[in-house]
A and B are shown apart, each in its own frame.
Chain A
Amino acid sequence: MAEVILNQVGKTYPNGYQAIPAIDLHIADGEFIVLVGPSGCGKSTLLRMVAGLESISSGELLINNQRMNEKEPAERDIAMVFQNYALYPHMTVFDNMAYGLRNRGASKDEIQRKVSDSARLLGLTDLLERKPKQLSGGQRQRVAMGRAMVRHPQAFLFDEPLSNLDAKLRVQMRVEIRQLQRQLGTTTLYVTHDQVEAMTLADRLVVLNKGHAEQIGSPLELYERPATTFVAEFIGSPSMNLLPVSITDQGLQLTEQVSLQADTKERGAVIWGIRPEHLQPCSESEADFALQVKAVEALGAESLIYGHTAGRSELLVVRAPGPFTPAIDQMLYLRAPQQQWHLFDINTQQRI
């Protein structure tokens, strides 16, 4: 167990492509950090640099206060769980888990004890003699975890470990991973493109976009105060409503006819953001503006209503609790409380 520190870590490929300009990240001992972002944002590259599977082009990586840039993967004392599990297909579950211990010259007794401890923790005891081919997806996933934890490494690295599982199993394994990590207290770096997975697992999230860390913070911090429009759109499902508007002395000009009262010194063009659940259906007299309903998704616990406001082409989303099914093309009157607004600079996309 250890701190993992990334100082201005960057990656430039030999062909000149700069995947990651420079990232600073300080992972505390025992912390669960999730790297999240769309595909191609550099999150796997960053993870692989920490693992030692990609070289670090610039900056410095410290694990337990030791510089790791030039160390081989094996010398970094980390364990990695791969997306396709990467179990050795010709070895039994026991041998898969024992492989790392054997390579490090552990004694027979020690291997036996450690493997059976981990197997018990993961409910794999009855499967130790099986080959990976004879296991289900969830079991393989557990073996991959077992192989990682059996050595008690300084840090766990997860590379989209749940993306090959079906939806139900994914939720179950997500909970298991979180519990195990808490129980073992091992520093963890976890890569995913799934924002729900990211929100539920992370102590802190790193949202990556084109190799930049857009924002680093706890899931709720990111949800409540997204630093950029990218984070605002990426975190939360459905995404935050974002509209380019202008603020004048009359207030926030949603359309030519509709303006909302705005207690801000900000003037000029901005991007106005509001989360779907913060748009509240109300009576016509209380309403800030109206939406012409275009589609309704009733999910039981909540309903998602999509529509246009007169004079704008963007589709807005409203999340209303419980079953709520307004008719298509009906006008839906909405309130947009000012304390729930997010304003972003139209050029830099940064939060104002």
Chain B
Amino acid sequence: MTVTFPQRPLPWLLLLPQLLVTAIFFLWPAGQAVKQAFYQEDAFGLSSEFVGLENFSHLLHDPLYYASIGTTLFFSFAVAFVGIALALLLAVMADRVMRGQIIYKTLLIWPYAVAPALAGVLWWVMFDPSTGPIAVWLKSMGINWNHFLNGNQAMTLVVIAATWKQISYNFLFFLAGLQAIPRSLIEAAAIDGASPFKRFWTVVFPLLSPTTFFLLVVNLVYAFFDTFGIIDATTSGGPGQSTKILVYKVYDDGFIGLDLGSSSAQSVILMMIVGVMTVIQFRYIERKVQY
């Protein structure tokens, strides 16, 4: 359906606030970043010089950048996988609860309302090597927990913190997906002699596959781009480079290292990744995953 307005200016006027917000807060900074990516600035920000693709070529020859890509991929898939698996488990269990389901749902949805930085601080406190209750308990179990020194432990911590926050979101989608599966399908499978485990893997899980794929993309995007706050509050990318994911490196190189050119070039690459993921999300979710 198309709506036609009698006057020309009115539709533009109505669109103006949104267009302004988009222009000022999205297009202009993005444009600046693209521009910066081709310039080299001195550390004090006094002068800048056009260097062409040099920022990019530096990046692509920098082993630290590749290490960061590896870290990001590991981190993102770990968050997506753990988050989806746990959320599915919780959703299946909540779906079975008859009484008090609303209480379970509410409790499970709460973490989503917590700001990323707070989620980070929460887990940072829990895992603080000298005072954190979990760290202390781990020590009593013979595991020497210190994520300030141990890169793998630091990665585990950020994965836990980032996953914890995303589980609520995944849980909601899975629960809705489960409740959309007609009860009679499960009953038919039960009569057909499938054990509860088999029913889940041959009937329920395939029927959830559109939800699962959607969540996979959303979770990857989340882990790639939305976890800055959590990383900053827990490990600040350390120890060493062990939890320095791409978004964190953009910030670290730009605002700590004051290499604005490289930082901008990294932003441009991230923008391209976002673009690709958005295309995948829109193009394949609707069409590819069907039964």
Contact = CB atoms under 8 A, between A and B. Distances in A.
Interface in B178-209: 182, 184-185, 187-194, 198, 202-203, 206-207, 209
A73 interface: yes
Interface stretch (A82-90, A183-191, A280-288): A82-90
A82 B193 contact: no
A90 B206 contact: yes
B291 interface: yes
A53 interface: yes
B187 A73 contact: yes
Contact of B188 (A52, A72, A80, A131): A80
Contacts of A100: 191-193
Interface in A220-255: none
B190 A53 contact: yes
A63 to B, nearest CB: 13
B182 A84 contact: yes
A210 to B, nearest CB: 25
Contacts of A51: 187, 191
A88 B191 contact: no
Contact of B207 (A52, A89, A131): A89
A99 B184 contact: no
A53 B194 contact: no
Given A88-B203, A90-B291, A74 B184 contact: no
B177 to A, nearest CB: 13
Contact of A99 (B182, B192, B291): B192
Interface string B262-291: 000000000000000000000000000001
A131 B184 CA distance: 18
Given A88-B185, A90-B291, A74 B198 contact: no
A211 B206 CA distance: 38
Contacts of A168: none
Looking at A80, A83, A88, the one whose CB has the most chain B CB atoms below 10 A away is: A88
A74 B192 contact: yes
A103 B203 contact: no
Interface string A72-109: 11100011101110101110000000011001100000
B187 A99 contact: no
Contacts, number: 57
B193 A131 contact: no
Contact of A74 (B185, B193, B207, B209): B193
The secondary structure that dominates the B interface is helix
Contacts of A78: 191
Nearest to A95: B202
A237 to B, nearest CB: 29
Contacts of A90: 206-207, 209, 291
A65 to B, nearest CB: 21
Contacts of A104: 193
A82 B184 CA distance: 7
B198 A84 contact: no
Contact-size category for B: 10 to 19
Contact-size category for A: 20 to 34
Contacts of A131: 291
Contacts of B207: 89-90
A73 B188 CA distance: 9
B39 to A, nearest CB: 53
Contacts of A88: 185, 188-189, 203
A51 B190 CA distance: 10
B182 A86 contact: yes
A103 B194 contact: yes
Contacts of A82: 184, 187-188
Nearest to A100: B192
B12 to A, nearest CB: 44
A233 B193 CA distance: 41
B269 to A, nearest CB: 38
Contacts of B194: 74, 99, 103
Contacts of B185: 86, 88
Contacts of B203: 88
A194 to B, nearest CB: 20
Contacts of A79: 191
A100 B203 CA distance: 13
B191 A99 contact: no
Looking at A78, A100, A104, A147, the one whose CB has the most chain B CB atoms below 10 A away is: A100
A83 B184 CA distance: 9
Nearest to B191: A73
B189 A80 contact: no
B198 A103 contact: yes
Contacts of B191: 51-53, 73-74, 78-80, 100
Nearest to A53: B187
Contact of B193 (A80, A84, A103): A103
A86 B206 contact: no
B190 A72 contact: yes
Contacts of B209: 90
Interface of B: 182, 184-185, 187-194, 198, 202-203, 206-207, 209, 291
7 contacts: A51-B191, A52-B190, A52-B191, A74-B191, A74-B193, A100-B191, A103-B193
In the complex, the 10 A-B pairs of residues with the closest C-beta atoms, listed nearest first? A90-B291, A100-B192, A103-B193, A74-B193, A86-B184, A86-B188, A82-B184, A90-B206, A73-B191, A73-B190
Given A51-B187, A84-B184, A86-B182, 18 more contacts: A52-B190, A53-B187, A74-B193, A79-B191, A82-B188, A84-B182, A86-B184, A86-B187, A86-B188, A88-B188, A88-B189, A90-B209, A99-B189, A99-B192, A99-B202, A100-B193, A103-B192, A103-B193
Interface of A: 51-53, 72-74, 78-80, 82-84, 86, 88-90, 99-100, 103-104, 131, 147
